Structure 1
Amino acid sequence: MTTPRFDIIGQAISDASRTRMLCELMEGRAYTNKELASAAGITPQTATAHLRMLQDAGLVTAEKSGRCVYHRLTSPEVAQALEQLAAIAPADSLYRNQQRKAGDLATVRSCYDHLAGPLAVNLTKAFLARGMLVEDNGGYRAVSSEVWHRIGVTLPDRVGQKPFVRPCLDWTERQPHVAGPLGRQILTHGMEAGWLKRHAHKRGLLVTAPGRAAFDQILDLRPVEVAMG
């Protein structure tokens, strides 16, 4: 029997600077060494050593584009694992400190490839209340509804090996939001339809006026539930 090397992962995430960089990468975008160093408050040279350790642990991957090297999380599974760890972290955790420093960026945000924060939690509650999602053996199962198409979701014709939708415990709300391909489709459609956009000066997402109207008309979400960002 092969024993998982939790010690390698534990060592990789035990440093505050590396944790800051991982938090930055959980947004789902790729960043340069210099950008991650700035986010962590360290020098680029120090960031290089930290990123090498994160790569050796299988948490981060690097890809070259032109003269720049960009770093991103290795997979959605890594992002989900980090999200779950953040959800059980103490209330005075590093992320809470980052949240205050960045101006409450957690109101609306992305977690790698899906929505997170209050909006994502309230969307999930709406899906369950409408019967679009049902709880199934500790997970979720999507039920056919014309509403899915209106928010950019195409349900699969058959059940695949990996779940189409799964619950992901939100690290600030401590309640589940949807992840998996369904969550990815919602975020992608929201960005392409202009319902969501990136903040110009900080991490996180902003819900636009068309987005607020769409969430209200399609899912009856009140402005406070949409969390304008």
Structure 2
Amino acid sequence: MQTGFSRIAEALGDPAREAMVSALADGKALPAGELASVAGISPQSASAHLQKLVDARVLSVWAQGRFRYYRIKDDSVAALIETLVDLAARTNAARKRAMPADQLRQSRTCYRHLAGELGVLLSNALVRRRLVVLDGRGGHVTEQGLAWCRAEQIDFDPARQPHLRLCNDWTERVPHLAGPFANAVLARLLETRCVAPHRIPRALRITDRGRAFFDRLGVQVPF
């Protein structure tokens, strides 16, 4: 009986399951049929693969009518997936001497928070202005940060603990912010069209509204 990480490794160690998990990496919830299409397999085969991921606690599932929707289990699983993406990207880059697309490197979603160069710029600005305080691999939003949330109409509940954690950015090689607070910030940026989806999956493009948002934080976006 598998009781350690080998069960998770086995669950992730299949091309079809990898494709389905990757499709959910930005925090979306998708039905089994759409995930089957992403993985290029039949709906019947997808059901077995998805059940394996649910059993390994990589994905969670809920029923809505006749549909079953799947998503990444939680932030800790998302962090694991991002670490594996980081390792795979570095391995592929070393083998192919290639770098990821500029759009992905500049700005993208990482589960439900902002990553890439723009994510690191945001994280650094929030720390520099003492809107958040880091403590090891986590941190909290300050009173000044909560006032900033109200001013920017960011729907963040300070009762959520921990407020934030550090997530290693696989293109920038430094951490960006993840967790409930970072999720709330990205949700607001998307809601107000400060950032918008790019044609490349997970990539984001910054808009004029987004530049104004970063200007208010004292950040000049270089792209």
For normalisation by structure 2, the TM-score amounts to: 0.80
Alignment partner of 2:19: what SS? helix
Matched, 1:141 2:137: no
Alignment of 1:65-80 (within 5 A): 65-80=64-79
Once residues 176 and 100 of structure 2 are traced to their aligned partners in structure 1, the CA distance between those partners, rounded to angstroms, is 25
Matched, 1:52 2:69: no
Shift of 1:90: 5.0
> Which residue pairs with 2:218 in the alignment?
220
Once residues 122 and 116 of structure 1 are traced to their aligned partners in structure 2, the CA distance between those partners, rounded to angstroms, is 9
Alignment of 1:203-214 (within 5 A): 203-214=202-213
Alignment of 1:126-165 (within 5 A): 126-145=125-144, 146-153=147-154, 162-165=161-164
**Does structure 1 conserve the Cα–Cα contact (< 8 Å) formed by 2:118 and 2:221?**
no
> Which residue pairs with 1:24 in the alignment?
23
Q: Which runs of 5+ in 1 are unaligned?
A: none
User: What percentage of residue pairs aligned between the two structures are identical?
Assistant: 35
Once residues 4 and 200 of structure 1 are traced to their aligned partners in structure 2, the CA distance between those partners, rounded to angstroms, is 40
**Does structure 1 conserve the Cα–Cα contact (< 8 Å) formed by 2:104 and 2:116?**
no
Shift of 1:101: 9.6
Which whole-Å deviations, capped at 9, do the CAs of 1:78-133 have from their partners, x for residues lacking one? 11222233333352449xx9x98998445432223222222111111112222333
What is the aligned residue count?
218
**In the superposition, relative to structure 1, how do residues 199 and 90 fare at CA in structure 2: closer, same or farther (>3 Å)?**
closer
**In the superposition, relative to structure 1, how do residues 100 and 44 fare at CA in structure 2: closer, same or farther (>3 Å)?**
farther
Shift of 1:61: 2.1
Once residues 103 and 223 of structure 1 are traced to their aligned partners in structure 2, the CA distance between those partners, rounded to angstroms, is 14
**In the superposition, relative to structure 1, how do residues 163 and 31 fare at CA in structure 2: closer, same or farther (>3 Å)?**
same
Once residues 170 and 156 of structure 2 are traced to their aligned partners in structure 1, the CA distance between those partners, rounded to angstroms, is 27
Once residues 36 and 72 of structure 1 are traced to their aligned partners in structure 2, the CA distance between those partners, rounded to angstroms, is 11
Shift of 1:33: 2.4
Q: What is the one-letter code of the residue matched to 1:135?
A: L
> Which residue pairs with 1:6 in the alignment?
5
Shift of 1:201: 7.2
